[in-house]
Amino acid sequence: MTYRSTIVLSREGKWYVARSVELGVVSQGRSINDAKKNLREAIELYLEDQPRAKRALAKQEEAPLVTSLEI
- The DSSP-derived string for 32-70 is HHHHHHHHHHHHHHHHHH-HHHHHHHHH--SPPP-----
Q: Which amino acid is at 25?
A: V
In the chain, the number of structural domains is 1
Residue 13 lies in a domain: yes
- Write down the pLDDT at residue 32: 97
In a domain, 70, yes or no: no
Chain centre distance of CA 39: 6
Decide if 64 is inside a domain: no
Tell me: the pLDDT tens digits for 4-25? 888 999 999 999 999 998 889 9
Three-class SS of residue 12?
A: strand
Domain range for residue 13?
A: 7-54
Cβ–Cβ contacts within 10 Å for residue 18, how many?
Answer: 24
The stretch 27-44 carries a mean pLDDT of 97
